[in-house]
């Protein structure tokens, strides 16, 4: 039986969970070690309840998924993983737990993962199942690496994925110019910044005025990449300088509404589609301009490694596939040979260690 707390436990903390020195702590029964659970009461309660779970769920796939997410959160705090990925993983965890949660990790085989993918494909959520499989695979790899399960092979690695249709499309120079000419300065700036920085629309709309910095007599555009958490610096040339003349003159953000507030992605996307309709241009999203910007940079001689870093890709090979796939559909290249990866590499030296 848990010893009664002297303070009466006004925060209703689980057993072995305490509040001291401005944070919540959990005392592990076997080692006596105190673990800092942070300052969030809800998260501390959930984590302590997870440690206190002596029921049949202890050691199940669902239990280990919670352990893996806590491990991943620590990596995010250390700057080794992206916060966006953690947010996505937390979302993916619910359906994975619903299907695999009560199973023992040692009992999960490739056919179970394949059945999950097939079932979700039939339900029309095949792409979502691919993302959820990635979470499950990451959790299994972590379990195996830490020696906490008896299996030696990740069951997810023996299965394929549901087929995915390529996302987005290539926006030609002509289409870009028509929509850009019709758009308001705010939409023009959003379009240009995506082409110049290759970042996600949600990140571009949060660019602040202090992103423009002067270092050693040169002007740079500096920001934190939402996808990877890396700090990015792009030198501002004359063309980029012209783009920034459309930025807001006051306030914290470069792109603001009449109420001096940043736009939401859906809000500015609605404006973009309105100008496309007026100009008779087939619909495209702001995210499609990342592709256009990447191809423009490669053809302008920007090293492929730089383009890959800006896109937040894990490897140059991913960038090559990404660019080549869209070049196959580009009007100017319909009757020519697709742009080969080796040709792209000649534009600049590639430093794999940088």
Q: Which CATH number fits domain 53-158: 1.20.140.10, 1.20.5.440, 1.10.150.130, 3.40.50.800?
A: 1.10.150.130
Residue keyed to tokens 């092979």: 153
What gap in Å lies between CA 219 and CA 233, rounded to an integer? 10
Q: How confident is the model at residue 48 (pLDDT cuts 50, 70, 90)?
A: confident
3-class DSSP state for residue 233?
Answer: strand
Would you say residue 134 has pLDDT above 60? yes
- Which of the listed ranges 12-16, 41-45, 140-144, 315-319 does the model predict with the highest average pLDDT? 140-144
Per-chain mean pLDDT for the chain: 84
Q: Compare 92 and 42 and report the one with higher pLDDT.
A: 92
Helical (H) or strand (E) element with 221: strand 218-224
Residues 6+ apart with CB under 8 A from 317: 341
Would you say residue 282 has pLDDT above 70? yes
Helices (H), the chain: 41-52, 61-77, 83-100, 110-122, 126-145, 173-182, 185-197, 201-204, 238-244, 265-279, 288-299, 304-311, 316-327, 341-345
Token pair recorded at residue 269: 């996307």
Would you say residue 227 has pLDDT above 80? no
Class of the CATH domain delimited by 173-345: mainly alpha
**Alpha carbon of residue 353 to chain centroid:** 23
Q: What is the pLDDT of residues 334-351, one digit of tens each?
A: 433 333 333 232 223 233
Among candidate residues 192, 186, 197, 191, the one with its CA nearest the CA of residue 253: 186
Q: How confident is the model at residue 69 (pLDDT cuts 50, 70, 90)?
A: very high
What's residue 166's pLDDT? Answer: 62
Helical (H) or strand (E) element with 35: strand 34-38
| DSSP 8-state secondary structure symbol assigned to residue 159 | S
3-class DSSP state for residue 19?
Answer: strand
Q: Which of 25-39, 86-100, 122-136, 283-297 has the lowest mean pLDDT?
A: 25-39
- Which of the listed ranges 111-115, 169-173, 298-302, 317-321 does the model predict with the highest average pLDDT? 111-115
Portions of the chain given CATH number 1.10.443.10? 173-345
Q: Does the reported pTM lie above 0.95?
A: no
3-class DSSP state for residue 210?
Answer: helix
Would you say residue 320 has pLDDT above 80? yes
Portions of the chain given CATH number 1.10.150.130? 53-158
What gap in Å lies between CA 45 and CA 41, rounded to an integer? 6
């Amino acid at each position: 039986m848990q010893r009664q707390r002297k303070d009466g436990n006004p925060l209703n903390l689980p057993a072995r969970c305490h509040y001291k020195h401005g944070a919540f702590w959990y005392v592990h029964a076997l080692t006596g070690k105190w673990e800092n659970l942070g300052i969030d009461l809800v998260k501390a309660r959930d984590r302590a309840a997870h440690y206190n779970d002596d029921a049949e769920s202890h050691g199940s796939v669902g239990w280990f998924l919670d352990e893996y997410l806590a491990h991943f959160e620590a990596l995010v705090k250390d700057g080794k993983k992206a916060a966006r990925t953690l947010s996505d993983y937390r979302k993916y965890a619910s359906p994975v737990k619903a299907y695999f949660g009560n199973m023992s990790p040692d009992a999960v085989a490739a056919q179970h993962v394949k059945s999950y993918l097939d079932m979700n494909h039939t339900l029309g959520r095949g792409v979502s199942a691919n993302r959820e499989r990635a979470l499950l695979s990451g959790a299994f790899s972590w379990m195996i690496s830490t020696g906490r399960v008896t299996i030696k092979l990740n069951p997810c690695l023996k299965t394929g994925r549901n087929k995915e249709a390529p996302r987005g499309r290539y926006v030609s120079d002509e289409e870009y110019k028509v929509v850009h000419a019709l758009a308001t300065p705010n939409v023009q700036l959003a379009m240009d910044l995506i082409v110049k920085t290759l970042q996600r629309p949600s990140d571009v709309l949060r660019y602040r005025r202090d992103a423009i910095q002067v270092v050693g007599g040169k002007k740079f555009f500096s920001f934190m990449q939402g996808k990877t958490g890396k700090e990015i610096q792009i030198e501002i040339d004359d063309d980029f300088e012209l783009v920034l003349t459309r930025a807001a003159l006051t306030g914290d953000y470069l792109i603001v509404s009449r109420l001096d507030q940043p736009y939401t992605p859906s809000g500015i996307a609605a404006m973009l589609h309105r100008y496309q309709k007026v100009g008779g241009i087939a619909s495209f999203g702001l995210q499609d301009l990342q592709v256009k910007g990447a191809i423009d940079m490669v053809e302008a001689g920007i090293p492929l490694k730089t383009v890959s870093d800006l896109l937040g890709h894990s490897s140059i090979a991913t960038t090559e596939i990404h660019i080549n796939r869209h070049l196959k559909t580009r009007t100017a290249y319909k009757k020519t040979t697709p742009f080969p990866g080796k040709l792209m590499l000649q534009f600049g030296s590639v430093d794999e260690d940088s």
